[in-house]
Amino acid sequence: MATDKNAELFERARALIPGGVNSPVRAFRAVGGTPRFVQRAQGAYFWDAEGTRYIDYIGSWGPMILGHGHPRVLDAVQRAVRDGFSFGAPTEREIELAEEIVKHLPSVEMVRLVSSGTEAAMSAIRLARGATGRNRIIKFEGCYHGHADALLVKAGSGLATFGHPTSAGVPPEVVQHTLVLEYNNIAQLEEAFAAHGDDLACIMIEAIAGNMNFVRASVPFMKRCRELCTQYGALLVFDEVMTGFRVGLRGAQGVYAQAIPGFAPDMTVLGKVIGGGMPLAAFGGRKALMENLAPLGPVYQAGTLSGNPVATACGLATLQEIALPGFYQALAARTQSLVDGLAAAAQEAGLPFATDCEGGMFGFFLLPQLPQNYGQVMKSDSPKFGRLFHGLLDRGVYIAPALYEAGFVSAAHGEEDIAQTVQAAREVFKTLA
């Protein structure tokens, strides 16, 4: 018999929903224990079924950049709801959201709105293939682009061999055009282009990868990606579902444009923050490229709930808040103070620790140095991470329940929240060293 309300709900959920959850990482399989069932959230906090408060460093895996229940967002959503939930016909708000996205991302002239990052990434690949007339795509080990069949693939045995499905139910034929390469490995990238460049539709990349905790593409690696795509006529697709409007107003592409003059991707995939917590995502790029989509062009793509009026109201209100002057400076400073505090606490405890952040996104590793690729990320001590996770959870701090996930700070996280988090980490680190 379950003794606590979370455990009781988990039991009920497991009887009806596979694993008790509607997205696997929520089940705490990597860290053990009972998932917290969220009752409500406000600002930087959520409360579980027992009424226990947690400082939330997941923020719905990124979207809640303003914190939960921001008054102006709430107001916009409530007004939108009264006007209708869904029409299946165009609305002015879709144009306003498109304008807001295009205004901040110089590489994006046109966008198509969809309902999830998975859908956006899948559609971007179809468009890349349709526009180039080519089949092959490159992805990198450790990057996640949603769960479309062609993207559920891991590297094959040899260098630049085609990959194997990472999920049952994906026929090998479906991933035979997906080349999986090591992140930040320029030699392998060059080899792949030399062998397959003439049939490559695109590279898809998380430039600041948040699905292997937090790993940046090096500037020389990104520069080479851009050069090779241009040279061979392949498209460089930035999956900014996580980083878009999260690491800065211009996303990860803005970070690389500062280091590489004139840098821009050919296509951008967005999600998470642009919906402000509602199901909304997008993909966009140059006008001539985007005009390959139906109804103008031969690449089919559609959605009953695409551009949903409530979701666009939520996204629009969110984007208007984050575009206010000084928003990202304040968010980045808060995030920096968190990772600095964690690093100092780890050092005090004599614990190997490496950390990095950009804007409102951060990562840390129980490793002496920041990893450069997935193989190095996976050298992290997983049982130790599990103890760290539960130590923090017991002290009211909720970080991602898996060591290969990034963390998120919102504008609602205050100095006291950061101080409380660092203090909790100080106590837990001592037990781990």
Ligand X SMILES: *Cc1c(COP(=O)(O)O)cnc(C)c1O
- Give yes or no: 144 in active site: yes
| C-beta of residue 400 within 8 angstroms of C-beta of residue 58 | yes
CA nearest 287: which of 133, 135, 131, 138?
Answer: 131
Q: Prior bond to 295 cis, omega within 30?
A: yes
Q: Which of 271, 284, 360, 407 is close enough to bind ligand X by CB under 6 A?
A: 271
Q: For tokens 């320029």, what's the residue?
A: 186
Of 34-42, 105-113, 140-148, 223-231, the window that binds ligand X (rule: CB under 6 A) is 140-148
In the complex, the smallest distance separating the C-beta of residue 19 from ligand X, rounded to whole angstroms, is 17
In the complex, the smallest distance separating the C-beta of residue 329 from ligand X, rounded to whole angstroms, is 24
In the complex, the smallest distance separating the C-beta of residue 115 from ligand X, rounded to whole angstroms, is 8
Binding of residue 214 to ligand X (CB under 6 A):
no
In the complex, the smallest distance separating the C-beta of residue 4 from ligand X, rounded to whole angstroms, is 29
The DSSP 8-state label assigned to residue 151 in this structure reads: G
Whose CB is nearest to ligand X?
Answer: 117
| C-beta of residue 280 within 8 angstroms of C-beta of residue 305 | no
Strands 164-165 and 153-154: antiparallel
Q: How far is CA 181 from CA 87, 154, 161, 176, in A?
A: 42, 9, 9, 14
CA angle 356, 360, 365 (to 5 degrees): 30
Which residue, 117 or 251, has its beta carbon nearer to ligand X?
117
In the complex, the smallest distance separating the C-beta of residue 285 from ligand X, rounded to whole angstroms, is 16
Of 5-13, 235-243, 258-266, 371-379, the window that binds ligand X (rule: CB under 6 A) is 235-243
CA nearest 338: which of 397, 252, 394?
Answer: 397
Q: Which of 28, 45, 57, 144 is close enough to bind ligand X by CB under 6 A?
A: 144
Distance CA 94, CA 291 (A): 17
- Give yes or no: 83 in active site: no
The catalytic position among 56, 256, 266, 272 is 272
Which residue, 256 or 353, has its beta carbon nearer to ligand X?
256
The catalytic position among 239, 266, 328, 417 is 239
In the complex, the smallest distance separating the C-beta of residue 148 from ligand X, rounded to whole angstroms, is 9
- Give yes or no: 103 in active site: no
**How many residues form the binding site for ligand X (CB under 6 A)?**
15
Of 11-19, 139-147, 288-296, 338-346, the window that binds ligand X (rule: CB under 6 A) is 139-147
Distance CA 42, CA 27 (A): 23
Name residues contacting ligand X, limited to 61-120 (CB under 6 A).
116-118
Let me know if 302 is exposed, middle or buried by CB neighbors in 10 A (0-12, 13-18, 19+).
exposed
Distance CA 239, CA 241 (A): 6
Which residue, 242 or 314, has its beta carbon nearer to ligand X?
242
Name residues contacting ligand X, limited to 184-213 (CB under 6 A).
206, 210-211
Q: Which of 202, 241, 270, 412 is close enough to bind ligand X by CB under 6 A?
A: 241
The DSSP 8-state label assigned to residue 298 in this structure reads: S
The catalytic position among 45, 144, 183, 398 is 144
In the complex, the smallest distance separating the C-beta of residue 206 from ligand X, rounded to whole angstroms, is 5
**How many Å separate Cα 78 from the centre of its chain?**
27
Distance CA 207, CA 164 (A): 23
Name residues contacting ligand X, limited to 280-299 (CB under 6 A).
281
Binding of residue 239 to ligand X (CB under 6 A):
yes
In the complex, the smallest distance separating the C-beta of residue 188 from ligand X, rounded to whole angstroms, is 21
CA nearest 270: which of 236, 309, 243, 305?
Answer: 243
**Contact track, ligand X, 110-129, x by CB under 6 A:** ------xxx--x--------
Sign of the CA dihedral running 260, 262, 266, 269 = positive
Binding of residue 59 to ligand X (CB under 6 A):
no
Q: For tokens 């991602």, what's the residue?
A: 400
Q: Residues in the chain, how many?
A: 433
Q: Residue 314: helix, strand or coil by DSSP?
A: helix
Catalytic residues: 144, 239, 272
Contact footprint for ligand X (CB under 6 A): 116-118, 121, 144-146, 206, 210-211, 239, 241-242, 271, 281
